[in-house]
Amino acid sequence: MRRTTRSPTAQAGASAGPIRIARGYNPANRRRGIGSTRRYVEPAVDCENAPEPPGRASEPRRGWAWQVPRQGGGPPARRRGPRHRASRGRTVSRKLCPNGHGYYSTSADICSECGAALQSDHGERVIAHRYRLDRVIGLGGTRSTVWEGVDLRTTRPVAVKLLPDPTGVELMRFMRGAFIAAELDHENVAQVYEYGEYGEDEPEGGLFLVMERLTGATLDRVLRKGAIPWRRAVSVAEQMLSALDALHANRGVHRDIKPGNVFVTPDELDDSWRVRIFDFDLAMRVEDVTTSEFYGDELRAVPSTPVCGTPPYMAPEQIIGYPLDGRADVYAVGVTLYRMLSGCLPFADSDRQLLYRAHLERTPPPLAAPGGRPELPSALVAVVMRALSKRRSERFKFASDMRRALRAVQLEHREAATPAPAAFAARWPTP
């Protein structure tokens, strides 16, 4: 069944034509990776007005595929490290709402919220004539579900994000974020293989995004049991900043950096963690500005910015709806690093308005390691507090600047890092 999705203007009764999406945007397969994520994202504040996604000179008809070569040419890059292992997951079957309203027991048939027919979270459905969906491994933000699947052409394990029957705003946000993520060729960004529209041969359809399958867990799940050693935390933050530096250089802002959107994979060879940033649903592009304007105090890139993000990690200018630049992401990295070092958030009010006011007015509590841990280096504390400055002109101007400051702290304390104790290694959750 042929489906089209109209923009918000068209839905309001204007004469604008339907928005058609090519089903097969397929960036070059630069890396391989498999794994799992039980919780894909944390809830985020919704955007009411998202700008149009990057367009093309002509709209291909539905079903066409876009092949995007790797920048600079050449074969796909290979990544060093051990082979990823397929994750272990429970096999108990449940039912879930196709509109993302949660799980139900196998005896239920109808979603209590929207009345949709429930689906099993295990199955062998195939979308886009290529990707087999095996089981649900997480629930996304805007009614989306994340499936463990297999690329039937290459037998490569993948993660597939589905958004059924999107609204105009959801469509624009989904496609814009997928486009921005697919353009990034960075080892600390989860690779997007393909995205587009599914369901042309089905009674109902929506949007899909295929990404690499990761092993390990989200940083949020790791931090649920408390702080981590400061050298480990600095290493994670450095990798996050490396990915954000590539995003900012490409005129992008993530706007939703948080532990739930950071995936960590333990490396069996050297006991290090490899970090991937994912979920670019709220990412936006800053167009037609110079570098000085992009990072200037009086940013003129966007006339008005809707309030989007996850409140505990939102920068002050993000809360008040001021136009953003990369320093909003630097602030979110500072909050994440604060939590990794102390085991708690700098501001954790349950009331959203009080939380907003805390980010705007209150000074974060003094950063200190939990009881029984060695004191944190004063230089490291200074880096975190600078990243959490209320005025963005007092923060690090670039993500690379904060990364260099963290590297200097590492070099200043060159003592051999002690291996992680068995109790700490055992905190890894089974996906």
d(CA 422, CA 431): 19
d(CA 313, CA 334): 9
CB of 195 within 8 A of CB of 144?
no
Name the DSSP class of 275: E
- Write the CA distances from 263 to 160, 190, 213, 399, integer angstroms: 16, 9, 11, 19
Q: What size, in residues, is the chain?
A: 431
d(CA 121, CA 105): 11
Q: How far does CA 332 lie from the centroid of its chain?
A: 13
Six-digit token string for 69: 């070569």
Give Cβ neighbours of residue 318 (< 8 Å, ≥ 6 apart).
Answer: 255, 305, 307, 308, 309, 324, 328, 331
Name the DSSP class of 128: T
Residue by residue, what is the 3-state secondary structure of 209-268? EEEECCCCEEHHHHHCCCCCCHHHHHHHHHHHHHHHHHHHHCCEECCCCCHHHEEEEECC
Of the candidates 256, 281, 325, 329, the residue annotated as catalytic is 256
Residue 109 designated active-site: no
Active site residues: 256
